[in-house]
Amino acid sequence: MAKIWSLALHGGAGPIFGRNYAQEEAHISGLLTEGASRLAAGEAALDVVEAMVTALEASGLYVAGRGASPNTAGVWELDAAIMDGRTRRAGAVGALVGFESPVQAARAVMERTPNVLLVGAGAAHLAASAGLARVEDPGSYYGAVAEDTVQEDAWQMRPNMGTVGAVALDQYGDLAAATSTGGVLSKTPGRIGDTPIIGAGTWADERCAVSCTGLGEYFIRANAAADVSARVRYGNQPFEAAVRGALDDVKRLGGNGGMIAVSASGDLAWGFNSSGLKRGLADSRGRFEVATFL
């Protein structure tokens, strides 16, 4: 059997028209090259998606990890999830405070506990016992919040500039997905979006792996990430149509955003009904694309 692999990354669904994203695109391109060579060398999809999201978080270029913005109380509460398609093991953290890499905390939930989702103080306790790097001084660690990313009205939520995510198929036929975010802009303390809700913002099974970005409340109500798999499984929809259908359902509810997805046969799909989607796609057949808008 041919040893195929595929990888997709995203850096969020809310880019601003007219702004130049060359720096983010160069970063995604470099990571894509690294992730592709790891998959080509036989690394597991689960490890590659964790490494990709860890690097996206650490860059400070997206609204996740180091680049995250605080909630209305001035606290950086971060969400992340990771899922292994073959076993459907999953780990997630919500409203995690004080750690550099929420996706590593999510992996720790998956590896070290019988649970899927830990939030708040419980998530922080687990991250500490796993020895994960702490954020000692949030004011200097996290980036400054650009004025045009702040909003006043909690009912008028906007997606942030850069939830991050990765999906991969490895040479063993296994799929994995990971997503990390600072959430929507100026979010209410304690608000948790779709990212750490398994099935809503992050999903992987034996058919596909999906990572979403956008207005999380709508992705939760649409169960958007798992809906891609359900459309393939029960509706016999072609993979790309399933991605489009899941996003159409988000839109029908009044939301917007985007997603990246990979199928068990290595097909890569993406879509957005927001302003754009910072994304990168690569596979063993030679595909290599990085873009932000259409």
Minimum Å gap between C-beta 110 and ligand ASP is 20
Minimum Å gap between C-beta 125 and ligand ASP is 22
Judged by CB, which is closer to ligand ASP: 63, or 109?
A: 63
- The Cα-based distances of 238 to 9, 195, 207, 232, 241 in angstroms read 21, 25, 12, 6, 5
Judged by CB, which is closer to ligand ASP: 36, or 192?
A: 192
Axis-axis angle for helices 45-59, 22-40 (nearest 10): 160
> Known catalytic residue: 163?
yes
Judged by CB, which is closer to ligand ASP: 101, or 160?
A: 160
Question: Which tokens go with 43?
Answer: 């690394």
- The Cα-based distances of 1 to 171, 172, 173, 262, 283 in angstroms read 10, 10, 10, 19, 16
Judged by CB, which is closer to ligand ASP: 35, or 255?
A: 255
Minimum Å gap between C-beta 195 and ligand ASP is 5
Q: Catalytic one among 33, 72, 163, 202?
A: 163
Minimum Å gap between C-beta 219 and ligand ASP is 6
Judged by CB, which is closer to ligand ASP: 75, or 172?
A: 75
Name the phi and psi angles at 111, rounded to 5.
-85, -30
Minimum Å gap between C-beta 160 and ligand ASP is 4
Q: Are 209 and 232 contacting, i.e. CB atoms less than 8 angstroms apart?
A: no
- Three-class SS state of 214: strand
Residues linked to residue 91 through DSSP beta bridges, in sequence order = 82
Residue (of 213, 183, 208, 193) closest to 276 by Cα position: 213
By CB under 6 A, name the binding residues for ligand ASP: 12-14, 159-160, 163, 181, 183-184, 193-195, 201, 213-216
Beta strands in the chain (DSSP E): 6-10, 78-84, 90-96, 117-119, 164-169, 175-181, 202-204, 208-214, 257-263, 268-272, 279-283, 288-291
Residue (of 186, 184, 244, 174) closest to 220 by Cα position: 184
Question: Which tokens go with 80?
Answer: 């992340």
Q: Which residues are catalytic?
A: 163
